[in-house]
Chains A and B, each alone.
Chain A
């Protein structure tokens, strides 16, 4: 994972509640065995017309003025549904570095952080303000300081967002969480010695 310390980028808004991971990337794109090229499939069924190829001119991500956006502002409860990690892979493949919402589904939140896609929780008023700003001026940019856990709006207002210490450490240092777990091998062995195995699938 690459280090993530700051994000500076323009925003695009999809003001829809409960955007599920089937919309972020439909299941028919999950037959891959790697993570590459999934950006093309991001929001595929909203982004393309029925032929699956012609861009839907009504969909905001196809609007030429938003092509540089790297921060997505979405409705409440973003990323609900399936546990597919292909959702953050697709969003990152499509150029996004952060998603702003009032709340995120638990599994999506975990998956995003493990890939360096930053979920930023804001209150409903800020969310609405960002929806309006994005619509009024497509060049609207925000900046994010991961260390300080602040999202700074164009008016200079800096908003704090929650981020657990461990995820923050991993983002700032560009390390993934597996190294931490691998280093606990002795503790895991001790746990296994204290607790008999529950089921053996190979028996």
Chain B
């Protein structure tokens, strides 16, 4: 797939295969979109715009809807229905149902057997495939890049553009190779890789770039691990992150509902094998991390770039030479009520949240369940486990994971975004500390006044048991 003999990156191959019109001095490129995911929160104003202009959805057959952001995760009633207590959320869900119905878009409603977080259901249904362009009115659309797709979040105006035309105006981003060499140690996970990358480059370090994650540690990750890494590309400022597809990718997709079959599978596979970056292709920037030097990571501040190895101490504003950064760190520590130089290990916590489009897939739940099995969540801790989709929930229940969590004293909930965005009543109380497997520790993100420590499912599970921030490796050694 070299073009005129010039070696190309994975990103360049996917980009050029989707340009309806090239970028010029006067106009951005026009990019064709293979798959558009829609949910209830960022779509209503886009559908209103279509109605105002008398437009239809150009390709409802390349669009799919699910309810996830504002949906409750509380138990079903005797009729098997998940009741929505919040009147505004209920109205928004009704509007979404009507919009999808009126415009012919297939949609998974709250409680449907296929419903779930938009970035969990795309891959699990086999809709997410290598070489595609995928967008959604949600910044964590970068998740789908784990399959070698170009996938990124868009605003509601752009949701309208894609609904009406199946295209988007985009300026071509730059590329950054993110190499993760070596092998991960025990107790260190995909989440720790991405938290370490973001801590290294900062929350704005990838602005204007598409990341390509490369190297031995990335190749060894499962698809779910790769999704965790790509998911948080946006926390490093990059709209998209990609991993070249390989046999791990193809094995994951094979046999899924929307995966190609028969001769179609063979044809797809031969195309997908052409996608990885050619030898000699160049990137606009490059960084390298050593996986074998990583430990479990945790954030201490109010953006995901404020992360550190779990045994480290909270940085001191006085050590920060950049004035703006010093102010930011001071403000963050004040909000978090942490002292400069203090350790987080041993810090008492109130809540543990396992879920979100970052870490709510079956392998995440297995990892956490394996850890809490036969143990008890500390009395002082509320532990919530929220599967990413109804399918993940059923799978977990078939493996008895729900029973393990309940026996340990954790809550086993219905699927959705839940406490990652705290729109649905699942939220921290002011002043509470949480260890969360989600992706954002912004002020108030998980509930007004709440304080989040982002970490892996293993670290979250260990901290739930101990009642304090805990390095999971210390408890693994005790096993």
Contacts and interface: CB of A to CB of B under 8 A. Distances in A.
B106 A18 contact: no
Given A33-B45, A106-B239, A187-B21, A85 B156 contact: yes
Contacts of A182: 55, 164-165
B321 interface: no
Interface string B146-165: 00000001111110110011
B324 interface: yes
A169 B60 CA distance: 31
A113 to B, nearest CB: 9
A27 B129 contact: no
A27 B422 contact: yes
A83 B423 contact: no
B331 A16 contact: yes
Interface string B24-51: 0111101010110000011011001100
Interface string A23-53: 1001110111111000000000100001010
B169 interface: yes
B102 interface: no
B137 A30 contact: no
A201 B225 CA distance: 25
A83 B27 CA distance: 23
Given A45-B444, A83-B155, A201-B64, A181 B161 contact: yes
B20 interface: yes
A177 to B, nearest CB: 6
Contacts of B318: none
A191 B127 contact: no
Interface string A146-182: 0000000000000000001110010000001110111
B445 interface: yes
A110 B34 CA distance: 21
Counting chain A CB atoms within 10 Å of each CB, the highest count among B204, B237, B422, B443 belongs to B204
Interface stretch (A56-64, A72-80, A137-145): A72-80
Contacts of B160: 178
Interface string B349-362: 00000000000000
Given A103-B204, A199-B258, A188 B89 contact: no
Interface in B429-445: 430, 440, 442-445
A80 B204 contact: yes
Nearest to B131: A198
Contact of B423 (A23, A28, A81, A169): A28
A133 interface: no
A23 to B, nearest CB: 6
Given A77-B207, A85-B155, A184 B324 contact: no
Interface in A69-124: 75-77, 80-85, 103-107, 110-111, 114-115
B39 to A, nearest CB: 11
Contacts of B331: 16
A55 interface: no
Contact of B204 (A26, A105, A184): A105
A76 B88 contact: no
A165 B70 CA distance: 38
Contacts of B153: 83, 107
Contacts of A16: 327-328, 331
B42 A85 contact: yes
Contacts of B203: 18, 77, 80
Interface of B: 17, 20-21, 25-28, 30, 32, 34-35, 41-42, 44-45, 48-49, 53, 55, 58, 60-64, 69-70, 86, 88-89, 91-92, 95, 104-106, 126-127, 129, 131-132, 137-139, 153-158, 160-161, 164-169, 171, 173, 203-204, 207-208, 234, 237, 239, 258, 303, 305, 324-325, 327-328, 331, 421-423, 430, 440, 442-445, 448-449
Given A20-B442, A50-B448, A106-B208, 15 more contacts: A15-B324, A50-B430, A75-B328, A80-B303, A83-B139, A107-B239, A110-B158, A164-B171, A177-B169, A181-B164, A188-B167, A195-B32, A199-B126, A200-B62, A200-B258
9 contacts: A18-B303, A27-B422, A45-B444, A52-B448, A103-B207, A110-B158, A166-B26, A188-B58, A201-B35
